[in-house]
């Protein structure tokens, strides 16, 4: 910035020497008494910036920052840096100046004389670059949209058609030499639309009427110090920055100057830049002292002592969020996010970094509790050595591990510690008092909670219970689980506006005490209340150690707020409220603000909340409405009045489109082929206040039916998309909880393959229709011809079919007649009448002939009765039935075998031999046989003998049914078991006994309402139910029941049931 005019240099040097000593002393003094630190966010090479020397910075309409550096220009979205050099179309040399014109175009002036500008997302070199050799110091646009370029070496150039890229067609005029100067360092517009230019020979005013320049030098402006920059503010006052002469403010309405220099608190007398923010504050950047902010008649300096690391400032501007952007000489871009957060740490005078308690006394001094005792801060103290006072165990017997600070109604300060119980500071004596009355109940001297109610009663939480102390009467007692608390280890105590005492217990939930009544509060999921606060509606907000926040109205939970809703963490350590009913939430990851509309604001280190991890219950609202938060990195003061009243919605963009993994320009309604169906979108939202807190929601219509869940991801991949018209939508939420009112959208079309297009489908339909009609026509002709031939063949074949039908019908009749004759034979074999008294036989074949049969035979004094079930039914069963019937008769009559078991043994042999069920080699040939039950009644001895092959005997005596099991093998069928021997059973008959034998056909019949089997158990119950009627009637009842049971179901097997009563 060597712009000192040769004629003035000697005077300047002499003046510099006179003020150097005083300035140095004053600068050191102001640095040492700062006592507080403001937050500046820095972006340098480490973060991705191309170079740390930032000459200029400006924000384009879409929100991106353009940063001019020694190495070129950088585009920044708050997270990602894109660095541009000559390889990207940039002119030679670092970018010294940046300007946004009325169309939103970004212009870049280079140190080597070139001009670049951004048009259609492409960097272009302006044709005037070839004639400008001196450093381009800036740009300005007049009311006629002419672009004025100021240079240091080539004077001033006015371009009438700045977007013209053909030098031959370019209209411009250059002003230099005696007409103006070769060295123009700055420009501004003042008094409406008048242009002013700062040169090495003074300030020049442009006269549009005659295209000339005149000197501008208001009375009172120094002539000893060259002017470096000029600005007219919104009030009309003119500000002049000088080289080592300080800052001059010309109050136009009063026609007078106010001069600010280092003696008044100005950061430095060398003013390098001046800008006005959206609130009317004036920011003066200096070369060597940092930045001074002027707010009305007050001003404040930011330097290396209170947060601004680099004292040499090139430029200052403001973004749309109200952040102040400062280009520095060695530390890159510094972003000042406002004065809402001020941090106090050990470097500012605190005894320890970790602050566990905060309070303000009546003298407006602030007390901070830490692990090294108490630090008392007096903001109004002018003497540096008296700003902080310290109390600890060694000096004042108060204890070192301070956890709680509370003021009582008498103006005394109560101190809860982690190593010395409860102490009181008496302001009248300036001494701490160890309270024995309270501490006798605090056996470990560990205080876990502390509050004072409106009756001047102290409530002290301990690990052994809740200590209640009446300050006025000097009496104390302890309340425990015995008194009604849910537990003894107290986690928190809070007195609300109704003087109700809320008590949190570790892992045991919440209690409250009112008018000596202790009541436990049942809140599902609430284990350990860590902190509490009451809002203006009387609701109690309860912070927990892992469940977020519960909002409780005294009877029910109104809502729960967790990390899923936007909190930084579910571990809540602090709760506070400001004068506007906004709730402040301290967590292990930073701070949230829940405003009265329910929006959740996020404050982390990037927002200025540098403490990050908030200490339990270390929060306080002071008399000015400011909130204080104790953290692991000092105490953070939050000033709500410095917050932006109406935060703007974030500037959201769809930044990049990739199709099948290849970058594609985002043309409106872009058409893609059906093979180009893998789409990747990159999107972002610019929020310098806290870029890490930005959240997104996306949707691809119609692929997504609704908005996807909130995420912090900035890229999404859609693969295998079907042909359709799609609209991708994205909206963002900034750290203030403000969403975009309208989402950002991009529409594209994936075309279907040709065979799915409407014209192809229509053509196919038409051709198909023609083909079908042609086919139908030809087919009709063929059908007529075929019909005639077919009719002839049908007549011929009909005669043959009729003849065959007659023959088949005759054969069926013959077969049926044969079967019916076989039935006559089978019927003839069976006894026509039942020769025994009190006996019935229920016999129902499934087909014409039956595989089941009954057998009756009398030999001497013995009556033989058998119920036989042959393998199969119908004709095959009938053959086996006749064979079995004849063999039973033969065994009894010819072999004179009368014992049932022996009869079955012999019958088994006869069947095996008759059916040749074994050949010579013993291999099975025929696998047929029979199941049967046989009983023999001896009239002389009144004994009934029984033997059975699978089929049992039912014996009923005195109303109880006994089932006599049969042997578990059949007659015949050698593959079942060899060397069979049947068991003979004997039963002495008593009067009233009944016996039943049967095949399995009855019990296996399907029927009833649900089509199930009757089953043997139901058959037993049925027989027992008929014991009151004669035996012959029982047979009829059983037959009637089975007919009714089958109803519409077909009979599945042959049925034979025989009953004999005595």
More confident residue, 670 or 646: 670
- Provide the 10 A C-beta neighbour count for residue 795: 9
Q: CA 68 to CA 95: how far, in whole Å?
A: 5
Q: CA 935 to CA 923: how far, in whole Å?
A: 34
Q: CA 229 to CA 276: how far, in whole Å?
A: 13
More confident residue, 916 or 681: 681
Q: Do 158 and 26 have their domain in common?
A: no
Total domains in the fold of the chain:
6
pLDDT tens across 317-353, in order?
Answer: 999 999 999 999 999 999 999 999 999 999 889 999 9
Tell me, what's the pLDDT at 646? 64
Confidence label for 975 from pLDDT (cuts 50, 70 and 90): low
Least confident residue range of 421-430, 518-527, 666-675, 874-883:
874-883
Tell me the CA distances in angstroms from 340 to 41, 91, 593, 733, one per residue in order.
14, 41, 13, 21
Confidence label for 22 from pLDDT (cuts 50, 70 and 90): very low
User: What is the number of H-type helices and E-type strands within the chain?
Assistant: 8, 78
Q: Which of 785, 800, 829 is the last residue of a domain?
A: 829
Burial 346-366 (b: 16+ CB within 10 A, else e): eebbbbbbbbbbbbbbeeeeb
Place of tokens 């009317």: 280
Q: Is residue 13 over pLDDT 50? A: no
Least confident residue range of 62-76, 378-392, 611-625:
378-392
Tell me, what's the pLDDT at 912? 85
Q: Are 248 and 257 in contact (CB under 8 A)?
A: yes
- Mean pLDDT estimate for the chain: 90
Q: Are 603 and 590 in contact (CB under 8 A)?
A: yes
Which residue range forms the structural domain that includes residue 792? Answer: 757-829
Q: Do 45 and 188 have their domain in common?
A: no
Domain assignment of residue 895, yes or no: yes
Q: CA 304 to CA 477: how far, in whole Å?
A: 53
Domain assignment of residue 998, yes or no: yes
Confidence label for 508 from pLDDT (cuts 50, 70 and 90): very high
More confident residue, 386 or 856: 856
Structure tokens at 904: 């079955």
Confidence label for 25 from pLDDT (cuts 50, 70 and 90): very low
Domain assignment of residue 247, yes or no: yes
Query: Vertex 801, ends 797 and 807: CA angle to 5°?
Result: 150
CATH code of 545's domain: 2.130.10.10
Whole-number CA gyration radius for the chain: 54
Q: Do 193 and 283 have their domain in common?
A: no
Domain assignment of residue 467, yes or no: no
- Average pLDDT of the residues in 26-34: 36
Give percent of the chain above pLDDT 70: 92
Q: Do 843 and 981 have their domain in common?
A: yes
More confident residue, 120 or 26: 120
CA atoms lying within 13 Å on the CB side of residue 105: 22
Q: CA 332 to CA 916: how far, in whole Å?
A: 111
Task: Reduce the DSSP state of residue 757 to 3 states and report it.
Answer: coil
Tell me, what's the pLDDT at 976? 62
Tell me, what's the pLDDT at 440? 94
Q: Which of 200, 216, 232 is the last residue of a domain?
A: 216
Q: Do 163 and 264 have their domain in common?
A: no
Q: Are 402 and 357 in contact (CB under 8 A)?
A: yes
Tell me, what's the pLDDT at 926? 63
Q: Do 247 and 104 have their domain in common?
A: no
Confidence label for 192 from pLDDT (cuts 50, 70 and 90): very high
The verdict on whether omega for the bond into residue 773 sits within 30 degrees of 0, i.e. cis, is no
CATH code of 948's domain: 3.60.40.10
pLDDT tens across 907-963, in order?
Answer: 998 888 888 776 545 454 567 789 999 999 999 999 999 999 999 999 999 999 999
Q: CA 90 to CA 76: how far, in whole Å?
A: 17
Q: Do 884 and 1016 have their domain in common?
A: yes
Domain assignment of residue 459, yes or no: no
Q: Do 824 and 873 have their domain in common?
A: no
Q: Do 290 and 207 have their domain in common?
A: no
pLDDT tens across 981-1030, in order?
Answer: 999 999 999 999 999 999 998 999 999 888 899 999 999 999 999 999 99
- Average pLDDT of the residues in 425-448: 93
For residue 1022, the surrounding DSSP H or E stretch is: helix 1016-1025
- 390 exposed, middle or buried (CB, 10 Å; 0-12, 13-18, 19+)? middle
- Provide the 10 A C-beta neighbour count for residue 133: 12
Q: Which residues pair with 293 in a beta bridge?
A: 283, 300
Query: Residues near 432 by Cβ (< 8 Å), separated by ≥ 6?
Result: 391, 396, 397, 398, 415, 423, 424, 425, 426
Q: Do 738 and 881 have their domain in common?
A: no
Domain assignment of residue 387, yes or no: no
Tell me the CA distances in angstroms from 459 to 406, 497, 505, one per residue in order.
11, 15, 14
Q: Which of 642, 670, 688 is the last residue of a domain?
A: 642
Q: Are 141 and 147 in contact (CB under 8 A)?
A: yes
Tell me, what's the pLDDT at 735? 87
What are phi and psi for residue 213, nearest 5 degrees?
-125, 145
Tell me the CA distances in angstroms from 942 to 53, 570, 934, 963, 993, one per residue in order.
129, 93, 17, 20, 11
Q: In what order do the strands lie in the sheet with 744-750?
A: 670-672, 744-750, 724-733, 695-701
Q: Do 266 and 130 have their domain in common?
A: no
Q: Do 994 and 930 have their domain in common?
A: yes
pTM: 0.68
How many residues belong to the chain?
A: 1062
Q: Is residue 33 over pLDDT 60? A: no
Tell me the CA distances in angstroms from 36 to 306, 342, 677, one per residue in order.
6, 6, 57
Q: CA 269 to CA 708: how far, in whole Å?
A: 55
- Provide the 10 A C-beta neighbour count for residue 715: 13
Domain assignment of residue 392, yes or no: no
Domain assignment of residue 75, yes or no: no
CATH code of 695's domain: 2.60.40.10
Q: CA 1021 to CA 1056: how far, in whole Å?
A: 18
């Amino acid at each position: 910035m060597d712009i000192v005019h040769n004629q003035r240099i000697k005077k300047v040097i002499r003046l510099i020497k006179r003020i150097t000593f005083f300035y140095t002393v004053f600068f050191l003094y102001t640095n040492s008494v700062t006592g507080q630190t403001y937050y500046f966010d820095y972006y340098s090479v480490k973060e991705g910036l191309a170079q740390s020397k930032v000459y200029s910075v400006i924000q384009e309409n879409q929100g991106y920052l353009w940063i001019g550096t020694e190495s070129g220009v950088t585009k920044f979205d708050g997270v990602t840096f894109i660095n541009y050099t000559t390889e990207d179309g940039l002119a030679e040399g670092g970018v010294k100046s940046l300007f946004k014109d009325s169309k939103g175009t970004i212009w870049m002036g280079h140190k080597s004389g070139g001009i670049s500008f951004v048009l259609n997302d492409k960097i272009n070199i302006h044709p005037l670059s070839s004639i400008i050799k001196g450093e381009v110091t800036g740009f300005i646009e007049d009311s006629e949209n002419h672009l004025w370029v100021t240079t240091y070496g080539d004077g001033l150039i006015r371009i009438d058609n700045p977007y013209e890229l053909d030098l031959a067609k370019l209209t411009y005029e250059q002003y230099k030499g005696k007409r103006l100067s070769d060295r123009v360092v700055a420009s501004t517009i003042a008094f409406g639309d008048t242009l002013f230019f700062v040169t090495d020979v003074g300030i020049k005013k442009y006269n549009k009427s005659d295209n000339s320049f005149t000197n501008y030098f208001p009375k009172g402006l120094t002539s000893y110090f060259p002017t470096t920059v000029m600005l007219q503010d919104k009030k009309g006052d003119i500000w002049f920055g000088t080289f080592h002469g300080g800052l001059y403010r010309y109050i136009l309405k009063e026609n007078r100057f106010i001069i600010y220099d280092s003696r008044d608190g100005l950061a430095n007398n060398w003013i390098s830049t001046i800008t006005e923010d959206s609130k009317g504050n004036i920011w003066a950047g200096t070369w060597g002292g940092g930045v001074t902010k002027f707010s009305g008649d007050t001003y404040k300096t930011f330097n290396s002592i209170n947060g601004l690391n680099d004292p040499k400032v090139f430029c200052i501007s403001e973004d749309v969020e109200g952040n102040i952007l400062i280009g520095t000489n060695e530390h890159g871009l510094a972003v000042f996010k406002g004065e809402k957060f001020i941090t106090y740490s050990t470097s500012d005078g605190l005894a320890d970094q970790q602050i566990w308690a905060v309070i303000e006394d009546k003298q407006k001094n602030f007390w901070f509790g830490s692990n090294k005792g108490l630090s008392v801060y007096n903001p109004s103290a002018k003497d540096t050595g008296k700003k902080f006072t310290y109390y600890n165990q060694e000096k004042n017997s108060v204890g070192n591990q301070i956890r709680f600070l509370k003021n009582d109604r008498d103006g005394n300060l109560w101190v809860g510690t982690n190593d010395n119980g409860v102490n009181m500071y008496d302001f009248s004596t300036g001494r701490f008092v160890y309270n024995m009355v309270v501490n006798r109940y605090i056996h470990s001297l560990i205080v876990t909670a502390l509050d004072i109610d409106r009756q001047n009663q102290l409530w002290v939480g301990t690990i052994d219970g809740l200590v209640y102390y009446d300050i006025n009467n000097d009496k104390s007692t302890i309340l425990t689980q015995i008194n009604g608390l849910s537990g003894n280890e107290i986690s928190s105590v809070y007195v609300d506006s109704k003087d109700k005492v809320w008590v949190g217990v570790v892992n045991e939930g919440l209690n409250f005490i009112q008018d000596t009544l202790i009541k436990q509060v049942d809140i599902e999921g609430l284990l350990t209340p860590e902190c509490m606060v009451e809002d203006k509606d009387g609701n109690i907000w309860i912070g927990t150690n892992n469940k977020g926040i519960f909002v409780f109205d005294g009877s029910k939970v109104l809502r729960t707020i967790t990390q899923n809703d936007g909190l930084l963490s579910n571990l809540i350590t602090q709760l506070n409220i400001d004068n506007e009913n906004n709730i402040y939430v301290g967590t292990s990851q930073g701070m949230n603000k829940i405003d009265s509309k329910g929006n959740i604001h996020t404050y982390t280190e990037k927002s200025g909340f540098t403490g990050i991890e908030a200490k339990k219950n270390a929060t306080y609202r002071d008399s000015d409405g400011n909130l204080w938060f104790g953290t692991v990195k000092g105490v953070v003061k939050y000033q709500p009045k410095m917050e932006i009243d109406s935060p703007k919605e974030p500037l959201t963009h769809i930044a990049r489109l990739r199709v099948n993994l290849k970058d594609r320009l985002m043309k409106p309604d872009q058409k893609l082929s059906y093979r180009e169906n893998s789409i990747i979108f990159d999107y972002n939202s610019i929020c310098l206040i806290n870029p890490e807190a930005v959240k997104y929601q996306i949707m691809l219509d119609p692929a997504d039916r609704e908005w996807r869940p909130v995420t912090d991801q900035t890229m999404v991949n859609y693969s295998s998309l079907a042909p359709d018209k799609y609209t991708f939508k994205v909206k963002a939420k900034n750290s203030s909880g403000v969403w975009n009112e309208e989402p950002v959208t991009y529409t594209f079309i994936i075309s279907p393959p040709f065979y799915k297009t409407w014209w192809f489908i229509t053509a196919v339909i038409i051709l198909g229709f023609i083909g079908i009609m042609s086919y139908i026509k030809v087919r009709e002709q063929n059908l007529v011809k075929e019909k005639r031939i077919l009719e002839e063949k049908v007549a011929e074949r009909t005669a043959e079919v009729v003849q065959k039908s007659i023959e088949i019908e005759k054969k069926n009749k013959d077969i049926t007649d044969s079967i019916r004759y076989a039935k006559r034979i089978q019927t003839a074999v069976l006894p026509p009448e039942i020769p025994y008294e009190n006996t019935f036989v229920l016999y129902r074949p499934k087909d014409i002939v039956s595989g089941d049969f009954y057998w009756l035979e009398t030999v001497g004094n013995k009556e033989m009765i058998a119920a036989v079930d042959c393998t199969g039914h119908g004709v095959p069963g009938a053959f086996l039935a006749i064979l079995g019937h004849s063999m039973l008769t033969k065994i009894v009559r010819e072999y004179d075998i009368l014992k049932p078991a022996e009869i079955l043994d012999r019958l088994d042999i006869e069947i095996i031999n008759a059916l040749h069920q074994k050949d010579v080699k013993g291999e099975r040939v025929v696998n047929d046989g029979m199941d049967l039950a046989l009983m023999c009644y001896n009239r002389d001895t009144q004994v009934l003998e029984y033997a059975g092959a699978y089929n049992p005997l039912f014996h009923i005596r005195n109303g109880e049914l006994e089932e006599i099991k049969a042997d578990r093998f059949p007659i015949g069928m050698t593959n079942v078991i060899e060397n069979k021997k049947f068991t003979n059973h004997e039963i002495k008959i008593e009067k009233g006994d009944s016996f039943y034998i049967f095949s399995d056909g009855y019990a296996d019949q399907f029927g009833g309402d649900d089509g199930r089997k009757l089953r043997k158990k139901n058959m037993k119950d049925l027989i027992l139910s008929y014991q009151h009627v004669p035996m012959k009637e029982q047979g009829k009842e059983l037959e009637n029941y089975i007919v009714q049971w089958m109803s519409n179901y077909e009979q599945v097997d042959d049925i034979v049931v025989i009953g004999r009563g005595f």
